[in-house]
Amino acid sequence: MDIPKDRFYTKTHEWALPEGDTVLVGITDYAQDALGDVVYVELPEVGRKVEKGEAVAVVESVKTASDIYAPVSGEVVEVNAALEKTPELINQDPYGEGWILRIRPLDMGHLDDLLDAAGYQEVLEREG
């Protein structure tokens, strides 16, 4: 299972990649694999204020639908519009083209509360 070391993770299988004063958010390789074929992504409105842990998007596969939780508090500044037409990007490239949204956090320091790659690896092993 691919777990890049350049970003942070949540126990609920989101990743957060800091870029300047914003954070790119997506779901992990493990999560996309567990969901199966993603058929739809419900994206939030740009400008929405979110609290850490709040459901901010929905990823729908053939069998199930999962809420995506904001890894940090802040404002949604961009969403990946490509997912509306090609939701399968999440399956194909979960850490790249399959990103979901971009948040400008209230405080970049909040990222320190998240897991690093090793910590997330441990979570997966425990869920095993």
Partner 1 sequence: MDYTPHTEEEIQAMLERVGAGSLEDLYRHLPQEILNPEISLPEPLPEWAVLEELRRLAGKNQPAFKAFLGGGVRSHHTPPVVQALASRGEFLTAYTPYQPEVSQGVLQATFEYQTMVAELAGLEVANASMYDGASALAEGVLLALRETGRMRVLVSQGVHPEYRQVLRSYLEAVGAELFTLPLEGGRTPLGEVPEGTGAVVAQHPNYLGALEDLAPWVERAHGAGALFVVVADPLSLGVLEPPGAYGADIAVGDGQSLGLPMGFGGPHFGYLATRKAFVRQVPGRLVSETVDAEGKRGYILTLQAREQYIRRAKAKSNITTNAQLTALMGAMYLAALGPLGLKEVALRGVAMAHRLWELLLEIPGVEPFTPKPFFNEFALRLPKDPHAVREALAARGFHAATPVPREYGENLALFAATELHQEEDLLALKEAMWEVLA
Which pair of tokens denotes residue 83? 């997912």
Whichever of 41 and 72 has its CB closer to partner 1, that residue is: 41
DSSP 112: G
- Residues in contact with partner 1 by CB under 8 A are 39-40, 42, 60-65
State in angstroms the smallest separation of the CB of 64 from partner 1.
6
- The closest of 32, 33, 21 to 110, measured between CA atoms, is 21
CB of 23 to partner 1, least distance (A): 25
Q: Which CB sits closer to partner 1, 90 or 114?
A: 90
Cα–Cα distance measured from residue 107 to residue 119, given in angstroms and rounded to the nearest whole number: 22
